[in-house]
Structure 1
Amino acid sequence: MKGKVLVVDDERGIRESLRGILEEEGYKVSLADSIKALKERVEREHYHCVLLDLWLPDGNGLEYISYLREKLPGSALIVMTGHGKTEHAVRAIKEGAYDFLEKPFSMERLLLTLERAIRERVKPVKALEDKIIGNSKAILRVKELVKKVAQTEASVLILGESGTGKELVARSIHELSSRKEGAFVAINCASLPDELVEAELFGYEKGAFTSATQRKPGKLELSHGGTLFLDEIGDLSLRAQAKLLRVLETKEFTRLGGTQVISSDFRLVCASNKDLKEEAKKGNFREDLFHRISVFVIELPPLRERGEDIILLAEYYLDRFLKDYGKPAKYLTEGAKEVLLSYEWKGNVRELKNLMERLAILHEGVQIDERDIRRLLGVELSTGDLSSLLLEKDFKKAKREFERLFIERRLKENNYDLKKTAEDMGIDLSNLYRKIRQYEIRVEI
């Protein structure tokens, strides 16, 4: 048994689907359809993880996170909702949830999150430090710039598409600087609403607003002696930009609801996926703030422009995650490498890294071929690929590939209703679960 899981959701179809999937994966599953049923369950039994829907008929799941932490010490909590709002995700994580899943989520994402949550509940995975990986001219130039600017106190602006590794570069600057013994404090300006960004940056006094039940220092205060990293600074409101500019000019501020002036000595590193010069022309970003934060600019190339680095990165992350999860060695075939090289990588290094992590966890066997890569990337097989099944000499391999394609098509036709798909195919639901897992088919729940 991998662990005991409690699924709390008021939709019967979702509860039953999750139970079938998780039991097939080796988890012992209990169900609850309300807060009342949840309480009854946790009073009688201990669980390794709770999958909690936020919107239940007799209460808001957010209000019961602290209750679950008290009743199930050491257990992991994963929050689910079909009405995703950033503030709910932030609050859930702040109050102790391991992760936040917005419906519909893929079975693959659920299983990966659940496996991590239960494992890290017991023993956190030893973190392997990320590095700036690559030998392309563009990335070698980035490494050179990082070394140069790290030795200064200049404000740095890192520009690049989402997923290109902006935070990794910011951390590298911090680690190579004279402030490396201080804290590296990061905040993602795009993930929080305006009022929460200000509370996170400046901190607040007890009673500053309704939910401020105690004093909390902000990121500006916590980064004293270290580095403050403002990710996606282009998403800050003009009001927050004005406040930040004053702090950068004086290195002084007050907490929300407070009067005491606080000083903080920090090094500022910012990042954005927007053209801030253009945003300033449009009136969306203060020009004076832009000049203040961009004393030194580092531009990160998208992965599609780093062709010679793609396989190097893929093999680095695959090896890293295999070691991380204690899995046996696997390797990429030449066909798999060709697919990786021809893919667009709109999510850049982050997308490639996530793909390698999924392969490390989900892929059975030693060899990873082009079909394995295409399947996880969601790239459709061409007519030529389908015809190639007729040329496949290995009967078992051709049969497996046909089964996978057949199941994928039936799932799509039935809008991923597992029960209906099983009936349509004339097989047991448990058999369908096994096939989905066997062929690593993505299923939206």
Structure 2
Amino acid sequence: MQKQDNLIGESEAFLSVLDTASRLASLNRPLLILGERGTGKELIAQRIHYLSKRWDQPLITLNCAALSEGVIDSELFGHEAGAFTGAKGRHQGRFERAEEGTLFLDELATAPLGVQEKLLRVIEYGEYERVGGSKTCQANVRLICATNADLPQLARDGKFRSDLLDRLAFDIIHLPPLRKRQEDILPLAEYYAVRMCREMGYGYFAGFSYDARRALVDYQWPGNIRELKNVVERSVFRHSQEDIPVDDIITDPFTPPWQENTLKKNDSPPPITPPANDAVEPISHTDTDRILPTLPIDFRQWQQQQEISVIQHALKQSQFNQRRAADQLGLSYHQLRGLLRKYQLVGSDPSH
């Protein structure tokens, strides 16, 4: 199965979509996927295809918005030699290339009415004709369509065929926007941050600061997952410090550097529980001499020694269970593993 790297999340809304897509995969019916831009409509189409009985046959895609009216007709159904100026030979259309497999049409609302009529015929009778041809071709193709437009309203306005909409609406998969999946924002952000760190040659991802995590959750993400990916990768790249958590989340790369360029907190942001750290007490003035080292010191070396001591303490308290230790430190499992590799602490316990 093709890797579907954006299908990450544990929110109820997202898991419901995955469940619906999995159940619909076994049916040989046309499907419609609705959702805002950047919500992962193509990835859901991939999931349906690779969980279907057609999984070992072609999955062909076409963005209807990327082609003009004359070109999209030819791209979908093919054309015969001499069908129009420049057509020197027969062209194999997407339906022909997707035979026995799946054809995914994105931005369906932009398809011309003439093309919609031909799509309806393929769904109804499994037949089509190449542009400039008279021979009827048979199609054994499952059609999955997607759009972010209001198709019922377009149908009422006469801009989309209502009979095609009826045939596509056997069942509809509604993809939730990212702002309706708040509990999935941080796992997705960490996933893209880890990938960016690997691309930059880092040994691990140091994580996001508390303010950065709050900023990520507060933001409304009008561009959804696609925007989140770009923002996280940009923020990690500009941060450029492997050992320090990312603290600035940069959503607008067009803002000049002398202007403020970070996410703003909402007036009433949803709470994010800071990492549990009950064992750490505030430093009082009377404890200062006992806790702070004698100056001068090598600050970097002292800081590393403190990190190592706290990590070793957490490992001992959790009986060297790294996942429990990560929880105690307010880190993800992968962040803790990165620190263990950095300080060469992996394997310090015989059981690991």
Deviations 1:250-288 (A, max 9, x none): 211121122222212011111110111111111111110
Q: Deviations over 1:48-79 (max 9, x none)?
A: xxxxxxxxxxxxxxxxxxxxxxxxxxxxxxxx
Instruction: Tell me what 1:123 maps to.
Output: none
1:229 deviates by 0.6
The CA deviation string for residues 103-157 of structure 1, in whole angstroms up to 9 with x for no partner, is xxxxxxxxxxxxxxxxxxxxxxxx9642421111100110110111011112111
Q: In structure 2, what residue type is equivalent to 1:271?
A: A
Residue number in structure 1 paired with 2:231: 355
Give, in whole Å, the separation in 1 of the partners of 2:53 and 2:110: 29
> In 1, Cα distance between the equivalents of 2:155 and 2:36?
18
- The question of whether the paired residues in 1 share the 8 Å contact of 2:232 and 2:249 is answered with no
SS where residue 122 of structure 2 aligns? helix
Deviation sequence 1:295-319 (CA, Å, 0-9, x none): 1111011111111111111111222
Alignment match, 2:153: 278
Partner residue, 1:334 = 210
Shift of 1:368: 4.7
1:429 paired residue number: none
User: In 1, Cα distance between the equivalents of 2:199 and 2:92?
Assistant: 34
- Amino acid across the alignment from 1:333: S
Secondary structure of 1:216's match? Answer: coil
- Give 3-state SS (helix, strand or coil) of 2:250's partner: helix
In 2, Cα distance between equivalents of 1:345 and 1:181: 36
Q: What secondary structure, in the 3-state scheme, does the structure 2 residue paired with 1:288 have?
A: helix
Larger proportion of strand: 1
Match runs of 1:234-253 below 5 Å: 234-253=109-128
Check whether the contact 1:225–1:266 (CA below 8 A) recurs between aligned residues. Answer: yes
Which of 173, 183, 194 is residue 48 of structure 2 equivalent to? 173
| 8 Å Cα contact 1:339-1:370 kept in structure 2 | no
Q: How far apart are the structure 1 equivalents of 2:160 and 2:54?
A: 29
Q: Which residue of structure 2 lines up, in the alignment, with residue 322 of structure 1?
A: 197
Look up the match of 1:222.
Answer: 97
Tell me which residue corresponds to 1:373: 250
Cα distance in 2, alignment partners of residues 323 and 129 from structure 1: 19
Q: 2:68 aligns with which of 172, 193, 212?
A: 193
CA distance 1:179–1:360, shift in 2 (3 Å)? farther
Q: Which runs of 5+ in 1 are unaligned?
A: 1-126, 386-445
Judged with a 3 Å threshold, the aligned counterparts in structure 2 of structure 1 residues 326 and 160 are, in CA distance, closer, same or farther, namely: same
Residue 183 in structure 1 maps to residue 78 in structure 2: no
Question: In the TM superposition, what is the alpha-carbon distance from 1:231 to its structure 2 partner?
Answer: 0.7
Following superposition, the deviation at residue 320 of structure 1 comes to 2.9
Confirm whether residue 343 of structure 1 aligns to residue 229 of structure 2: no
> Which residue pairs with 1:442 in the alignment?
none
Aligned partner of 1:154 among 17, 29, 46: 29
User: What letter corresponds to residue 215 of structure 2 in structure 1?
Assistant: V
Separation in 2, partners of 1:194, 1:335: 48
C-alpha separation in 2, matches of 1:276 and 1:326: 45
Q: 1:250 to 1:324 in 2, by over 3 A?
A: farther
CA drift of 1:324 comes to 5.1
* One-letter identity of the residue aligned with 2:27: T
Task: Work out the CA distance in 2 between the residues paired with 1:175 and 1:299.
Answer: 19
Q: Letter of the aligned partner of 1:373 in structure 2?
A: I
* 1:208 equivalent in alignment to 2:83: yes
SS at match of 1:206: coil
Q: Would you tell me which structure has more helix in proportion to its own residues? A: 1
- 8 A Cα contact 1:227 1:267, kept in partner: yes
Q: Which has the larger radius of gyration?
A: 2
Name the CA distance, whole Å, in 2 between partners of 1:156 and 1:372. 37
* CA displacement 1:194-252 (0-9 Å, x = unmatched): 11111110111222222323221001111111111111111111111112111221211
User: In the alignment, residue 215 of structure 1 is paired with which amino acid?
Assistant: R
**Cα deviation digits, residues 389-431 of structure 1 (max 9, x gap):** xxxxxxxxxxxxxxxxxxxxxxxxxxxxxxxxxxxxxxxxxxx
| Identity %, equivalent residues | 42
Q: Per-residue deviation at 1:343?
A: 1.4
Unaligned stretches of 5+ residues in structure 2: 266-352
Amino acid at match of 1:176: L
TM-score normalized with structure 1 length: 0.54
Alignment size in residue pairs: 258
